[in-house]
Structure 1
Amino acid sequence: MPIDVEELRTLFLFEGMTPEQLAEVAASSDVRAYPAGSTVYRAGEPSVALWVLLEGTLRLVRHADGEDIVVNETDYRGAYAGAVRAFATSAAAAAYPTSLHAVTGCRFLRFPADAFAAFVQKWFPMAVHLFDGLYLGIRTTEATVRQREHLAQLGTLSANLAHELNNPAAATVRAAGQLRDRVAHMRQKLGMIASGTVDPVVIARLIGIQERAVEIASKKREPLTPLQETDLEDELTDHLDDLGIGGAVDLASVFVAAGLDTTFLDDVAGEVGADLEAALRWLGYTLETEALMNEVEDASNRISTLVASVKQYTHLDQAAHQEVDLHPGLDSTLVMLGHKLADIEVRRDYDTSLRPVPAFAAELNQVWTNLIDNAVDAMKGRGVLELRTYRDGDWAVVDVTDHGHGVPEEVRSRLFEAFVTTKPMGEGSGLGLDNAKRIVEKRHQGTITFTTGPGGTTFTTRLPLTQQR
């Protein structure tokens, strides 16, 4: 049924309009009645009209996290919903974002979206441009800040990775330089052997001694305390002095590091006789060379591990959506943030029986990065970080727990909103948790929540174990 122009004039949206404008609205719209408990429109349906409450109580509902959330419930006459931005020339909503229900018997003015858009653009063109500009400005600003957040996060990860790679790379360079020096000395000793001044029998014994020493050095031993190491070096130095060996201090440190003792030195003395000092020097160079090669190998393995972690973190060579084991992603994130974790004790409690989840692996790693980075910041870089995984029904669950001071009361209800942050000015954009929430809920149909208190905060991420449709 049509609406009376006088009734239309009593609605705050239309007050102040000219008779001509009111007549145009009345001609384009109609009044519809809905009984209590009925649905006017559902979220996801085409946004075909602007609905203005004339009488009754309405309820707006948004579906999120698997449940219906009441956005607004009001009996305020003139309250409106639906195609609110139909007049916009940029990014007008194509579908209703919420569902509209009649709590009591309701009457609504139904203003078709196309007619509403034409009316506003005809009578209020300046307002349309202003609102469009404002809306685009907000979207552009948010997109720019999000991009800066991603760049800042990339910069942090790059700095951490550079720091982690620098240590083994520097160790490799240092060991390679020392290795060159030791090999040069061994060439000199080899020249002495080639000159024929050393008895071949002694050479054979020396090679046997060398092999035994290398075997001893390669065995796993309990690490020595600084005091134990000093006592053993002093003991070997005194013993070498008694055997008449010059530079005993330098040799003693090499032999202690290799696990050799005074009994071994006495055995060497008994086998090589007068050539003892040359034999011990040769043995020292051999052991140093082995140690340096082990250092190069360890450093190279460390670099390979870091590169593998980067590959695991980014999933560059894998399908975007796949069955994902959560644990390698968590571990690779810890590696990427290794520099920030220097004074953090990481405790892992992984459910190894947890099966893979259908996910965008690289995006999930962004979630872990945000949660772990926030946890470290909450503890000011020192404390215990706990990572726990487990299954809860049809969900895979990841807990990230810090032992900081908790989230301030005043921001708890808005913590996942864009631009909300507990960090000091300039240290956070407030988009990390907002981004994490979007990835978990929109991309993976999961949930992310938190509990907090004076003893710390736990963020709980729940991901479905089966593909959601």
Structure 2
Amino acid sequence: MHFEDFDASPPAARQDAELPTRLQYLIDNTPALIYCTVPSGDFKMTFVSNNAFNMLGYRPEEMMADPNFWFDHIHPDDAPRIVASLAEVFTEGQRVYEYRFRAADGRYLWMHDTLRLIRDAAGRPLEVIGALTDITDRKAMEEALLAKGIEQQQLIGKLREAHEQLLQAEKMASVGQLAAGIAHEINNPIGFVNSNMSSLQGYVGALLQLIDAYDDAIAGQPALVAQMVPVRQAADLDFLRGDVTALVSESIDGLRRVKEIVQSLREFSHVGETEWQLADLHRGLDSTLTIAANELKYKVTVVKEYGNLPLVECRASQLNQVFMNLLVNAVQAITGRGVIRIRTGVQEDWVWIEIADTGAGIAPEHLTRIFEPFFTTKPVGSGTGLGLSLSYGIVNRHGGRIDVHSQPGEGTTFTVWLPQHPPQRDAGNAGA
């Protein structure tokens, strides 16, 4: 037996001798970069594990040679936050940070850094130990998930808005069907009542002429004239003569107004018109005013200053909905009596419709939000906050825009700008 290579030292002694090498091996191959710094000043590094080169591309001796290496390589946007709270390491004993650190190739990598303060037996700060872990991939995933979440929220918002627009379109279709039913059911009786009233007007005129002829015939016979005086007084013929003519004329005028209302309702809804077409916007405005007359007449005076508009390629029923929303908002903004002024005009290839009111105006902090879905300054139950949002969407799909100018206490002016020929009318646009 040869004893030259036999190690007679106890096993524990051999383990102690190998321990520094073993620890160095473990430190250099851990997933985290281990480093130590002085516990004051610039946090100069006094130890850096060898895996720094694989993680960051720096040699440990390079990192320890520069007293400002740690601070100088933290992203400028992250450094102030870390500096502001670094003193808490000395009060709490440990701090955890996530920040961007510049690698040797110039890239900024996201790091998870756990700093722990080591004290000596007397409690004095001895050094700070840090463990850096590369979390760049995790951060990228978080940002992707966040972006996905934002995208989903935006999609949900768009779906909600599209749902509300669909409900509004269905409501408008129902109004159109109702208008068609009203027109069908009312036009026939209105037609023969109107014809009868015209005939009645002629009959009343003929009877009054007959009475005048009888008066002329008995004028030379005093006894007959005296006999007819109490009859004329009982019938109050002089009043009846004027009143019956006025009643017939008023009835004919009332029938005419009923026909105009039905026609305006049909034009407002544009029953059966689902395609883009050339439309007269003034007719749309007038029909909308007729439909809203009951809400307008007791609060406002409507002043129309129409320019010379060309026919505009559009979906007229949707634009009428925009006009209705703007008019109703204008009325609701007015306390007491006020004025709504409607102006129209042409500028190059654009037409514009301006609806101005003398109402309370819109606060500056609300101006940037008035077109947001569900935003409203009205009391709960008084508005959905969808009117202006839907109007914005309709005008936008027509290739136009809505401008608003408002001064609190002085009123608000909405101006709808529309191209005479929308630049894009694809299938999705046309069907919206």
Using the size of structure 2 for normalisation, the TM-score is: 0.50
Greater radius of gyration (CA):
2
Using the size of structure 1 for normalisation, the TM-score is: 0.46
